[in-house]
């Protein structure tokens, strides 16, 4: 899967990081791991940022960026960017983007990981690591991907989608629709990642606040039945430059207080663990891996994808969501699955970049 690094000519790779959303901090957290991995594989690495306020940042001193991001906590804002030596801010994407062989976007969340960054790069003819704009858009939209996978006979949790215009027209009747599911239910914005805007509703009186939180991030939201005692499992799909799919080991997320794994939980490491699921039967593991590959193909994704499932107490496997822009830091669950599968961290990043470089421009 991973070729000899000495057999390729050096390539210029630009990392895009930051983002005008609540995942800016996590995007910055993974920057140094990816930057170091790329340098170890002899790539010529540059960096371009997108601040919380939506400004673009061009850096001409990568060491200064590495040092700044290493200071925790760090978010890329107009203010923090202005303090980095060699940084210059602009309202528009810098022209230097087109000078790179490939762009590696570490921007998480919405807007950004929903296909908008990919679409920008496609429009100016820049190769990108990971999926194209269509695959990113499908993966980031929980309502659309569930409809698509229903046609593929992949079961998902029972759910109800509430469009923004339906909510504004008659909120009460849509609360009734959501409440028709068996409580407890989970309320989620349709377009979000990393558990942003996700709440659990155990009693009807909690519905109003949960909907308000979800609609803060996306007018369209869904209500999804919560399966008590289920296991939260995920694995990665990684495509090589010959279009072969490889599947990682299965990782399990456990929330210690029995709640849901949302953005608030994710930011408090003492509340959860993510470890290799070592006690699953071979039959279940194979089922998860086959389902993950099926999701990868059905969603028109390329490069790599993180696929998340629930395993109910009755051993029913339910697709939950997919992430075309997973967190790629060394300590993240995506990397853990591949490390268990036998890849070095640097090989994970290298394989993703080489797939992008060798993919015909504009094709997935």
Quickly list DSSP for 194-228.
TTTT-EEESSGGGHHHHHHHHHTT-SSEEEEE--T
pLDDT of residue 177: 87
pLDDT number for residue 8: 55
β-strand pairing of 44-50 with 12-18:
parallel
* For the chain, domain boundaries: 5-128, 139-154+229-358, 159-225
pLDDT, position 5 = 47
- Kindly state the helix (H) or strand (E) to which residue 87 belongs, with its residue range: strand 87-90
- Cβ neighbours of residue 182 closer than 8 Å, sequence gap 6 or more: 158, 225
Predicted pLDDT of residue 65: 97
Q: Measure the CA–CA gap between 212 and 288, rounded to whole angstroms.
A: 34
Cα distance between residue 39 and residue 132, in whole Å: 24
Q: Which fold has domain 5-128?
A: Rossmann fold (3.40.50)
- What is residue 339's DSSP assignment? H
Residue 361 confidence (pLDDT): 77
Q: Closest Cα to residue 292, out of 315, 262, 323?
A: 323
Instruction: Give me the pLDDT at residue 34, please.
Output: 98
Cα–Cα distance list, 74 to 58, 108, 211 (Å): 17, 15, 30
Tokens 């608030």 sit on residue: 264
Cβ proximity of 25 and 329 under 8 Å: no
pLDDT at 303: 94
Which residues of the chain are modeled with pLDDT < 70?
Answer: 1-10, 362-364
- In this structure, are residues 230 and 310 in contact, taking their beta carbons and an 8 Å threshold? yes
CB 38 within 8 A of CB 349: yes
Q: What is the pTM of this model?
A: 0.92
Asked: is 159-225 a CATH 3.30.1490.20 domain? The reply is yes
Residues of the chain with pLDDT > 90, as a percent, come to 79
| CB-based contacts of 128, cutoff 8 Å, min separation 6 | 102, 103, 104, 105, 118, 121, 122, 356
Query: What dotted CATH number matches 139-154+229-358?
Result: 3.30.470.20
Q: Which residue has the tokens 């499992």?
A: 233
Q: What is the pLDDT of residue 1?
A: 62
Same fold for the pair 5-128 and 139-154+229-358: no
Strand stretches in 165-282, DSSP E: 185-189, 199-201, 221-225, 231-239, 245-247, 251-255, 272-276
Query: Which residue do the tokens 């920008």 mark?
Result: 120
């Amino acid at each position: 899967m991973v070729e000899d690094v000495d057999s390729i000519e050096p390539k210029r790779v630009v990392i895009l990081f930051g983002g005008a959303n609540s995942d800016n901090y996590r995007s910055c957290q993974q920057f140094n791991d990816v930057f170091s991995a790329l340098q170890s594989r002899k790539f010529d690495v540059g960096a371009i940022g997108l601040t919380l306020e939506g400004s673009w940042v061009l850096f001409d001193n990568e060491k200064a960026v590495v040092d700044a991001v290493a200071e925790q906590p760090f978010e890329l804002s107009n203010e923090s960017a202005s303090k980095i030596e060699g940084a210059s801010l602009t309202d528009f994407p810098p022209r230097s983007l087109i000078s790179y062989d490939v762009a590696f976007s570490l921007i998480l969340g919405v807007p950004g990981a929903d296909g908008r960054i990919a679409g920008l790069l496609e429009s100016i003819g820049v190769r990108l690591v990971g999926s194209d704009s269509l695959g990113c858009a499908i993966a980031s939209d929980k309502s659309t991907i569930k409809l698509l996978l229903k046609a593929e006979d992949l079961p998902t949790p029972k759910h109800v989608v509430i469009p923004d215009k339906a909510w504004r027209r008659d909120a009460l009747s849509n609360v009734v629709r959501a409440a028709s599911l068996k409580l407890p239910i989970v309320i989620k914005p349709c377009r979000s990642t990393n558990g942003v805007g996700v709440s659990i509703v155990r009693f009807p009186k909690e519905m109003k606040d949960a909907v308000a939180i979800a609609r803060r991030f996306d007018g369209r939201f869904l209500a999804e039945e919560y399966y008590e005692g289920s296991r939260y499992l995920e694995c990665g799909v990684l495509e090589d430059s010959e279009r072969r799919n490889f599947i990682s080991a299965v990782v399990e997320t456990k929330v210690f207080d029995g709640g849901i794994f949302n953005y608030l939980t994710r930011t408090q490491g003492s509340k959860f663990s993510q470890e290799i699921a070592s006690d699953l039967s071979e039959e279940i593991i194979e089922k998860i891996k086959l389902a993950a590959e099926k999701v990868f193909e059905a969603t028109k994704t390329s490069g790599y994808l993180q696929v998340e499932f629930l395993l109910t107490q009755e051993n029913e496997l339910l697709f939950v969501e997919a992430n075309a822009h997973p967190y790629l830091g060394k300590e993240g669950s995506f990397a853990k699955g591949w490390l268990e599968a036998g890849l070095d961290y640097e090989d994970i990043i290298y394989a993703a970049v080489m797939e992008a470089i060798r993919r015909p421009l504009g094709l997935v």
